[in-house]
């Protein structure tokens, strides 16, 4: 019986929206690591980046993601940068639950997030920054993933159904 599904991918892939749809589809709880970080910090991720810096944010992220991967049962949407830390990679690699890389093209990501101020790593030259992030992160996402699903031109519920179909044998 499947107790945990982890969604990874870049900003704008739809991890949170797909995660909510997938949790409904599979009747499992849903949690978003970025939302949990904001709850614990008492401020937005952008505010953490501005007030405390990326290093403080990543430290919080590693702690919260580690706790979720250990203790939470259900669908977990990780922040786009969560899998880049070695500790999180090791925890994901040693797991036996499905890790779904939700892939997306830059044009679709731009339409979804608009590269707005709530994306602290995309503030300056957002298109180029996103491409740079993906060049760095894609190999990590692909290595960690047990399945890769594109969210291009699909509604979150459609992506959730595709994931659900791929995981049928494990349910």
Q: What is the CATH number of domain 4-170?
A: 3.40.50.300
Q: Distance between CA 163 and CA 18 in Å, rounded?
A: 9
pLDDT of residue 112: 64
Q: Distance between CA 101 and CA 98 in Å, rounded?
A: 10
| Predicted confidence (pLDDT) per residue in 7-65, tens digit | 999 988 999 999 999 999 999 999 999 999 999 999 999 899 889 998 999 999 999 99
If one counts every other C-beta atom within 10 angstroms of the C-beta of residue 166, the result is 15
Q: Could you tell me the residue ranges of all domains in the chain?
A: 4-170
pLDDT at 150 over 60: yes
- Helix (H/G/I), strand (E/B), else coil: 30: strand
Structure tokens at 42: 């008492």
Strand (E) or helix (H) holding 138: helix 126-144
pLDDT of residue 130: 73
Let me know: does 34 contact 45? Beta carbons within 8 Å. Answer: yes
pLDDT of residue 57: 94
Beta bridge partners of 7: 77, 100
pTM: 0.91
Structure tokens at 4: 């945990």
- Helix (H/G/I), strand (E/B), else coil: 42: coil
- Helix (H/G/I), strand (E/B), else coil: 3: coil
């Amino acid at each position: 019986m499947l107790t945990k599904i982890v969604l990874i991918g870049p900003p704008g892939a739809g991890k949170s929206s797909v995660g909510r749809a997938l949790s409904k589809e599979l009747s499992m709880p849903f949690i978003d690591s970025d939302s949990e970080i904001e709850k614990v910090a008492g401020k937005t991720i952008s505010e953490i980046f501005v007030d405390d810096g990326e290093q403080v944010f990543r430290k919080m992220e590693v702690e919260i993601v580690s706790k979720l991967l250990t203790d939470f049962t259900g669908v977990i949407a990780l922040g786009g940068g969560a899998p880049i830390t070695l500790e999180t990679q090791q925890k994901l690699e040693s797991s036996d639950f499905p890790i779904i890389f939700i892939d997306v093209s830059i044009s679709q990501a731009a339409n979804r997030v608009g590269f707005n101020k709530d994306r602290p790593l995309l503030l300056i030259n957002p298109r180029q920054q996103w491409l740079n992030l993906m060049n760095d992160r894609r190999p990590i996402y692909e290595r960690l993933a047990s399945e890769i699903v594109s969210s291009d031109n699909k509604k979150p519920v459609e992506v959730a159904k595709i994931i659900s179909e791929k995981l049928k044998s494990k349910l």
